[in-house]
Amino acid sequence: MNSSVFSFLSDFVFLLLLFIQIPSSLSNDDQYSACSKKSACGHISTGFPFWGAGRPSECGIPELKLNCENNITKMNINQVAYRVLEINPEFKTLRIAREDYSAGLCPPKFANSTFNPKVFETVEVYRNLTFVYGCEYAPKTIPVPITFTCKINEVDGQSGYIKDGDNGPGELCTGSVFVPVSITDFPPFSIPDFPPDWNMAAFEEQLKKGFEVRWKVDMDLCWECYKSSGVCGFDNVTSQPTCYYPPGMPSPPEISL
């Protein structure tokens, strides 16, 4: 190889490495700038541990992505779509309502409200109710059967009922869905003074109010980051929270869940 060709190749490799390094430096600055902003959609405005709705994935926990649709904040959790009604950073709680129950009790698919225990935990004042679909009849063992009808598999008038707990549909029914509900708004069906004026319209309105879950990210670690002029984010390489600093600041301390 002659010297001119070697010199050309050396210069080319040098320039290539230079251009590779430049975006990396800019990326760190961009992460600090992007994660300093809050997600904003409708009446919801929030920062870490959430991302989406204006914040890139480097700004929050992967499972806590927010979507903005028609100025309504939404989340997908375990393949179920929810509307985000409220975020309370002080108590680390989310109030969410199932999107598929916003139009009634007949969802297009049967998917339970389940949550990754590494990311979420239940709130004590809630319990599960099971909505059972496509039944021949409600079992006689149900103390206070609350029944309704749905269109199941393109067939109208399919019977359904509601029962306590997170049970399956049984042999006589097509499918079931369990959803957390407030103990105050939905008293156990077995008690004698179950509201006599309770009806399905009232039931559906209560479901639209949603329920709360608590996220399990240790926010105290992020407060240390904020006090050091950084912003909390998420390192997709290490799969751990991290701290982004403005240009010229020292490397952030390691933050872990």
Q: How many domains does the chain have?
A: 1
Per the model's pLDDT, the better-predicted residue between 22 and 219 turns out to be: 219
141 occurs within a structural domain = yes
171 occurs within a structural domain = yes
Q: What angle do CA 102, 108, 114 make, to 5 degrees?
A: 75
User: What's the pLDDT at 172?
Assistant: 79
Per the model's pLDDT, the better-predicted residue between 111 and 136 turns out to be: 111
- Do residues 153 and 246 lie in contact, with contact meaning Cβ atoms separated by under 8 Å? no
Residue 84 structural domain: 78-215
| Range of weakest confidence among 41-55, 59-73, 229-243 | 229-243
Burial of residue 210 (number of CB atoms within 10 Å: 0-12, 13-18, 19+) = buried
Beta-strand relationship, 211-215 and 175-182? unpaired
List CB contacts of 63: < 8 A, sequence separation 6 or more: 77, 116, 119
Look-up of token digits 């001119």: 4
Look-up of token digits 């980051």: 225
User: What's the pLDDT at 188?
Assistant: 66
251 occurs within a structural domain = no
Task: Write out the two tokens for 183.
Answer: 């103990």
27 occurs within a structural domain = no
119 occurs within a structural domain = yes
Q: What is the pLDDT of residues 131-183, one digit of tens each?
A: 999 887 767 666 556 778 888 777 777 888 888 888 888 877 888 999 998 88
49 occurs within a structural domain = no
List CB contacts of 226: < 8 A, sequence separation 6 or more: 232
Q: What angle do CA 165, 167, 168 make, to 5 degrees?
A: 155
pTM for the model = 0.79
When pLDDT is averaged across residues 79-99 and rounded to a whole number, the result is 95
